[in-house]
Chains A and B, each alone.
Chain A
Amino acid sequence: MTQNLELQRAALADFGLFAFRCNDIDDLLHRAVELVSGALDVPLVKVLEHFPKRGEMLLRSGVNWQPGVVGHETFGDHEKSPGGYALRSDEPVVSPDLDAEDRFETPDVLRRHGVRSMVNVIIVGEGDPFGVLEVDSRERREFSDDDVAFLRTYANLLAAAIERVRSHKELERAVREQGVLARELGHRVKNLLGLVRALASQTSVAGRTATEYRDAYIDRLHALSTAEGLVFENDNELADPLELAHEILAPHRQDDPRRITIEGTSVGLSPRQARMFGLALHELATNAAKYGALSVAGGKVHLEWHLLDARGVSERLSMMWREADGPEITPPQRKGFGTRLLEDVVAYELNGEAELKYEEWGLHYRLEFPVDLEQ
């Protein structure tokens, strides 16, 4: 008797030390079942892991089972199975004689191994229990109170060790993820600075005073940061063109919103799409205020977009900017950055098509590009 207690105490000490150093759940469970087998002098020991969603318990680790059992055999988690019954019990479930057991049924795999007596103890978890620790004897055995107390202590130690390994893994994953995020953010910032530089160099200095250049540049930068801001505010990193249009065109609509009517559906634009959509609207409005419909009293703009029906996941967004009742216009002599942006950059970046038309009665701009509605 004393010898048993000493064996059990030694097993607890050995396992405690092992668990402190171990960072792998399978190694941990394997060592656990080995030590229990020795300490209680029972041949068959196993750990059942509970999978609540599947309604199953998997024989995750064990000693002395026939080949093909450990890692494969599963049991239902209902109360008619020994494991399922133990999950629902606060106390260890002791069965000195399975032939006389009427609380649950004996699974085939236990009969095949000649199991006569068993004890099941729950392995708790931070949320749901991890599963059940089970010791099986081939002989009829009355497990003593000391044996049961030992098993309960052991199962709690095992539960703490499992939680430790799990949170360790979780922390490692979080640290890795943080690293990736930091790297992506760094990349994005540098790319944005590249765009900021490009906007500065592409904004023409020809025929402009320093003040005019500064204003033109800052206005473009503002359009870029409006788009970037909308993306940033949105948890899923998408921007709504409707919101974007209202924000970008606000300065031109503050006296009379009817000067630019906006009609379009909400849809998710990627950061890249949002930037281009925003920059395009900014160029159109600036141009209209200088030379087009918004440069005279009574001139109007109608902005609208809709989704084009297409089969499959990807659909296209078709946008139209129509100026009316403005001054007579003619195509510019020289293509400035604004024109290049509208015709080339935007279409290129959006993988779509853009068309600028200088109609006598006003400028027309059509833009069509694919949008991913699955995002």
Chain B
Amino acid sequence: MTTIIPPETFAGRRILVLEDERLIALDVRDILEQFGCTVLGPVATVDAALQLIEHEDPDAAVLDVQLNGTTSEPVAEALRAKERPFLVLTAYRRSHLSGALKEAPLLNKPVDERKLRTNLSGLFQ
């Protein structure tokens, strides 16, 4: 059984993408744009993501965890503080995560479009 997700769920939603692997970032961006979302970024660093959160106020976010030796935890905390939902898209397992990252829905790499769609729509219910 596939749940039917009405297209308007995503129309015009502004999604921040934080991913340091550029090819994967472009892939995720394309998928989100196909859903009808507007992508903010993709950005590759915590600082760039925090800037976007402050100035662009995204509706939601898709976060990679490991960013060139640092983690996206501060971004997750900032989103939580602003009550903006987010998904974690990572090669790690949940047991490896900490803080606000641990509580978010987790998708494993490589990205699965159907799962991304279902989980993303879950953020807007």
Is B78's beta carbon under 8 Å from chain A? no
Interface residues on A, range: 20 to 34
Q: Are B91's CB and A187's CB within 8 A?
A: yes
**CA gap between A198 and B28 in the complex, in Å:** 8
Contact B109 A191 (CB under 8 A): yes
Q: Which of A8-16, A67-75, A249-257, A342-350 contacts B (4 or more CB under 8 A)?
A: A342-350
Q: Is A4 an interface residue (CB 8 A)?
A: no
Complex A-B, nearest 3 residue pairs according to Cβ-Cβ distance, in ascending order: A190-B91, A198-B27, A197-B110
CB-contact partner of A191 in B26, B30, B44, B91, under 8 A: B91
Question: Roughly how many angstroms separate A197 CA and B23 CA in the complex, as a whole number?
Answer: 9
Whether a CB of chain B sits under 8 angstroms from the CB of A183 is: yes
B27–A196 touching, CB < 8 Å:
no
Which of B91, B92, B96, B111 meets A197, CB within 8 Å? Answer: B111
- In contact, A345 and B26 (Cβ under 8 angstroms): yes
- Chain B positions within 8 Å of A189 at CB level: 91
Known: A193-B110, A198-B21, A344-B22. 19 other contacts (CB 8 A): A183-B96, A190-B91, A190-B109, A191-B24, A191-B91, A193-B109, A194-B21, A194-B91, A194-B110, A196-B110, A197-B27, A197-B110, A198-B23, A199-B23, A202-B30, A340-B26, A345-B22, A348-B44, A349-B21
Expressed in whole angstroms, the minimum distance between the Cβ of A32 and any Cβ of chain B is 41
Q: CB of B108 within 8 A of chain A?
A: yes
Q: Give every chain A residue within 8 A of B108 (Cβ-Cβ).
A: 190
Within 8 A of A (CB), among B22-51: 22-24, 26-27, 30-31, 44
In the complex, which residues 172-218 of chain A have their Cβ closer than 8 Å to any Cβ of chain B?
A: 183, 186-191, 193-199, 201-202
Contacts of B109 in A (CB 8 A): 190-191, 193-194
Return the CB mask of B6-26 against A: 1 if under 8 Å, else 0. Answer: 000000000000000111101
